[in-house]
């Protein structure tokens, strides 16, 4: 019914306005929904939708917010009035509407930021952060705000801050996340590692820092696993970094974790591991053979390279190559 009324257009405006004041929440909600399909009458409808943001019924408020987000920009300016509304319920749907409008509502970003800085409710704070991220806000005040809330213990706020940070240019955020890896707060370290993994290949500058933390004897299993996942998520660029680490550490120093991690790259890492054999570094070759052995049949594409290593002058390398061949079924 709401869609049909919306398609009728301006001729339906008066009946829709009457319905928006109906005693039944379902009728008010339907009227609010119909308004989103009559943008040509937004000057008449937007003020009514603003009023419906204060409705006692949650569904009416939510639909009114959605309709406002879809109307032309002049309607969005009216949301400036409800950003600072005394009712938390009205502020919530206002933030949602601004988030759905995204870039079109960017002119409200400073007002929204000023308001959520005072927001005590974690849910509203998270929704406000999401809205600002969808507006693609990237100024110093928003950046500082995110930094101040990175250590929040509220799950909703953590998630929103993380998503907002990921929406910012990687070159801006990667040095920050690398710095967080050295935090004494384990939770901060884990979040930073997770975000670096989400960034992927562009987070390659963090590889050495991740390896350093994993190799630290004081790092617990949970931390190490999170950092390993991040390292693998950054992609094959992590393979040269791991091989370099293997080359530098003392044999049997406990860095066998790096060999196991090489195998985690699976098929995508096989060609990169084969290239490492060309360096003729004994430690690296043994590490690659160990990774292939762990991969099993996944490393079948490396068969020729492994066979070549069975002719190597070093007996340990020949033995490792034979073991790798057996593991992949040759």
Helix (H) or strand (E) holding 136: none
Q: Is the pLDDT of residue 240 over 60?
A: yes
pLDDT (tens digit per residue) in 77-123: 899 889 999 999 999 999 999 999 999 999 999 999 999 999 999 99
Q: Is the pLDDT of residue 133 over 70?
A: yes
Q: Is the pLDDT of residue 186 over 80?
A: yes
pLDDT (tens digit per residue) in 300-329: 999 999 999 999 999 999 999 999 999 999
Q: Is the pLDDT of residue 50 over 80?
A: yes
The C-alpha atoms of residue 136 and residue 164 are separated, in whole angstroms, by 9
Terminal CA-to-CA distance of the chain, rounded, Å?
68
The C-alpha atoms of residue 213 and residue 194 are separated, in whole angstroms, by 14
The C-alpha atoms of residue 258 and residue 151 are separated, in whole angstroms, by 30
* Position with higher pLDDT, 269 vs 222: 269
Q: Please state whether the predicted TM-score (pTM) of the whole model is above 0.85.
A: no
Query: Mean pLDDT in the chain?
Result: 93
pLDDT (tens digit per residue) in 142-177: 999 999 999 999 999 999 999 999 999 999 999 999
pLDDT confidence of residue 162: 96
What average pLDDT does the segment 268-284 reach?
A: 92
pLDDT (tens digit per residue) in 3-48: 999 999 999 999 999 999 999 999 999 999 999 999 999 999 999 9
Residue 73 banded pLDDT, cuts 50, 70, 90? confident
The C-alpha atoms of residue 294 and residue 208 are separated, in whole angstroms, by 24
Under 8 Å CB-to-CB from 292, ≥6 apart: which residues? 263, 270, 273, 299, 302, 306, 324, 327, 328
Of the chain, the percentage scoring pLDDT greater than 90 comes to 86
Of the chain, the percentage scoring pLDDT greater than 70 comes to 98
Q: Are 34 and 3 in contact (CB under 8 A)?
A: yes
Residue 218 banded pLDDT, cuts 50, 70, 90? confident
Residue 220 banded pLDDT, cuts 50, 70, 90? confident
Query: 235's torsion region: left (phi>0), alpha (psi -120 to 50) or beta?
Result: left
Q: Is the pLDDT of residue 253 over 70?
A: no
What average pLDDT does the segment 286-299 reach?
A: 95
Lookup: tokens for 209 = 């820092």
């Amino acid at each position: 019914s709401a869609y049909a009324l919306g398609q009728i257009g301006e001729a339906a405006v008066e009946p829709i306005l009457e319905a928006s004041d109906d005693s039944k929440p379902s009728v008010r909600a339907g009227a609010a929904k119909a308004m989103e399909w009559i943008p040509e009458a937004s000057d008449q409808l937007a003020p009514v939708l603003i009023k419906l943001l204060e409705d006692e019924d949650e569904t009416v408020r939510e639909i009114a917010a959605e309709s406002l987000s879809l109307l032309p920009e002049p309607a969005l300016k009216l949301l400036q009035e409800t950003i600072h509304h005394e009712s938390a319920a009205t502020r919530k749907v206002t933030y949602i509407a601004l988030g759905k409008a995204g870039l079109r509502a960017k002119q409200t970003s400073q007002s929204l930021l000023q308001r959520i800085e005072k927001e005590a409710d974690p849910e509203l704070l998270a929704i406000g952060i999401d809205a600002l991220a969808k507006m693609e806000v990237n100024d110093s005040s928003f950046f500082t705000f995110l930094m101040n809330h990175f250590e929040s213990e509220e799950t909703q706020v953590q998630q929103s801050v993380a998503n907002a940070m990921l929406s910012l240019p990687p070159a801006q955020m990667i040095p920050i996340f690398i710095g967080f890896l050295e935090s004494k707060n384990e939770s901060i370290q884990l979040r930073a590692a997770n975000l670096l993994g989400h960034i992927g290949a562009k987070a390659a500058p963090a590889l050495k820092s991740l390896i350093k933390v994993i190799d630290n004897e004081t790092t617990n299993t949970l931390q190490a696993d999170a950092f390993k996942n991040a390292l693998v998520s950054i992609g094959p660029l992590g393979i040269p970094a791991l091989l370099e680490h293997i080359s530098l550490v003392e044999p049997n120093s406990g860095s066998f974790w790096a060999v196991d991690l090489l195998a985690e790259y699976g098929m995508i890492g096989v060609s990169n591991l084969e290239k490492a054999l060309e360096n003729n570094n004994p430690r690296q070759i043994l590490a690659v053979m160990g990774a292939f052995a762990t991969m099993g049949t996944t490393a079948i594409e490396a068969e020729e390279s492994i066979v070549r290593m069975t002719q190597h002058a070093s007996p340990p390398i020949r033995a490792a190559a034979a073991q790798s061949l057996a593991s992949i079924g040759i």
